[in-house]
Structures are given as structure tokens and as C-alpha cells.
Amino acid sequence: MKPSELPLAPDGSLYHIRLTSSTLADKVLLVGDPGRVNMFKDIFETIEFESENRELHALTGYYHGSRMTALSTGMGCDNIDIVMTELDAALHLSDTSDRHLQIVRIGTSGSLQENIDCGSYVASRYAIGLDGLMNYYKEWSTPLPDMEAAFDAHMGLNSRLAHPYCVNGSEMLLGKIAFDMHHGITVTAPGFYGPQGRTVRLHPAIENLNKKLAAFSYDGTPVTNLEMETSAIFGFSHLMGHEALTVCLIIANRPKGTFLNDYHPQMRELVGTVVERLAGR
């Protein structure tokens, strides 16, 4: 492969994430904020590797004998395109193509359901991507055509917008990590303001977006929350053979208009819970 197509850093690691097959664990914890990776320093018992490059902060260590990598992604599906491609490439650039990752995104999100209050934990059984990212890959074919058709009919989106795609997360990780949390459909938007129905100075192109999303359900599972990364994580995992789950702390309730300003104690608790359960304890 030409160096321009998959660039490497001078030390041979992947150019953006600065990880290699040997420094990447099979259990991966993704967070958006690079500063949030420091939480894992207080949880992991030993630290084996650390790197920082732009908003991508990686940390590999052990928790009760279980090897894990925590990695920040920054915000948005464009960053997820880089992170997921390079995580998979780190495995396949060496003779480790039989390795499969268990990937858990731990994030923050806004609830679209009035009964899911700030401070709640929501796990994504399905994701709907409004970002259009997976449509740029030839290999992509929706694993949930009935859900996609139902969502298209429900929303009636303008043809100028990216075509939404639907994908499921890992049932295995859902049962292992999120058995006592809210389960739902997570909608991934390509931005924070207009694409999530917010009006500041400019107005969203989709009127009543959040109400329309909240009214959609599939197989008895409602749309619960709106964020900016999950659909791409699930989409790439589906194509590449990895297990993926997103667990979000709800910091905004959009129907009520409430916002959790200081959510750091709840986030530390959620991170600790996910690490404990991913380790299998």
C-alpha cells in the first residue's frame, strides 16, 4: 500500500492514533475528550503504553489482569473514520488478522425521551446514522433494511441530505455491560447545532427533528438519544468483524430543556462500571 494511503509515523505506528499491533489491546475503550483518558490512569493497575497526538490520547494498561486500551477520538464521525480504520489496520499490518476487538464507546449524549432524565445511562442497541459516512464505502450494505425503510418513511427527509443508514451494536456487549441500563436506538448527527435541531442564529432544515426522531421505534426499541459518533463505530465494526457498544451518560434532556452542568462524578462512575464489566469481573 502506498504511504499516502495509510500513513505511518516515524516509529512505525499508525499516523493518527500512534498505536501498533503490540501496543493495542483487544479490549478498547473510546472516549471523545482526550482529557477523559486520564480517568483510566486512576483505574488501571499498571500502565504499559501511552501516546498523545492532537486530540488522540492513547493509554494501554491492565485492570485485574485484563489488558485494555483507552483512546480518545475527538468529536464527530469524521474522526471515527480515522480511528476505526487505523485500529483495524494496526491488527492487519502484522500477522494478527485473526484478532477481533471489543470496542466500547463511553460518551455523553442528549435524551430525546422525557422519562430518561439527566444522569441516566443509555446503551445503544441500534444506531441510525444521519452522517452518511458509511455510504462512502463500497462494502457497505445495510444489515437492517426493514429498519432503514421504516425510518425513511417515517422521516421523509429531503433528498439533499445524506441518506440515513441503520446498524446494530453487539448483543454480547450489551448483555455483559449494560444489562441494568436503558436500551435504545441512538441517532448520530453530523453536527451539534442545526443537525441536532438547535436554533442559535441559523435554523435547522428539518422542522421538529427531535420530536420526529423520538416518535420512531423499531422492534419495540425507541429512539432514546442523539449524539455524534455511534453509527460510524457500529458501521465499521459490522464491516470489519469487531464487537461494538456505546454507553452514554445523559447530560441533556431535550424535551424538558434541562442540562447537567457538572457531570464529572457520574462520568467517573460510568467509566469505572464499564471497565469492571468489560474485564469480566
Sequence ranges of the domains in the chain = 27-278
Helices (H), the chain: 38-41, 77-92, 145-155, 171-177, 209-214, 230-240, 264-278
Q: What's the whole-number mean pLDDT along residues 225-254?
A: 97
- Cα–Cα distances (Å) from 117 to 18, 254, 265, in that order, read 37, 10, 16
- Beta strand 102-111 with 243-253: parallel, antiparallel or unpaired? parallel
- Cα–Cα distances (Å) from 128 to 41, 56, 143, 266, in that order, read 33, 25, 12, 26
Cell of 110: 442528549
Is 96's pLDDT higher than 60? no
Q: What's the whole-number mean pLDDT along residues 208-221?
A: 97
Determine the pLDDT at residue 93: 80
Share of the chain above pLDDT 90, in %: 95
Q: How many other CB atoms sit within 10 Å of the CB of residue 98?
A: 7
Cα–Cα distance measured from residue 21 to residue 17, given in angstroms and rounded to the nearest whole number = 12
Determine the pLDDT at residue 95: 63
pTM: 0.96
CB 68 within 8 A of CB 27: yes
Q: Nearest 10 degrees: CA dihedral of 87, 161, 228, 153?
A: -100
Digit-coded pLDDT (tens) for 247-263: 999 999 999 999 999 99
Determine the pLDDT at residue 92: 86
- Cα–Cα distances (Å) from 96 to 62, 192, 227, in that order, read 21, 37, 33
CB 131 within 8 A of CB 232: yes
Dihedrals phi, psi of 152, to nearest 5 degrees:
-60, -45
Cell of 150: 421504516
Digit-coded pLDDT (tens) for 159-213: 999 999 999 999 999 999 999 999 999 999 999 999 999 999 999 999 999 999 9
Determine the pLDDT at residue 194: 96
DSSP reduced 3-state for 142: coil
Q: Which of 189, 193, 268, 199 is nearest to 223 (CA)?
A: 189
Determine the pLDDT at residue 69: 98
Q: What's the whole-number mean pLDDT along residues 41-51?
A: 97
CB 259 within 8 A of CB 47: no
- The hierarchical CATH code for the domain 27-278 is 3.40.50.1580
Q: What's the whole-number mean pLDDT along residues 102-118?
A: 97
Q: Which residues pair with 222 in a beta bridge?
A: 217
Determine the pLDDT at residue 1: 78
Mean pLDDT computed over every residue of the chain: 96
Is 36's pLDDT higher than 60? yes
Please give the residue that has the higher pLDDT: either 1 or 19. Answer: 19
Is 218's pLDDT higher than 70? yes
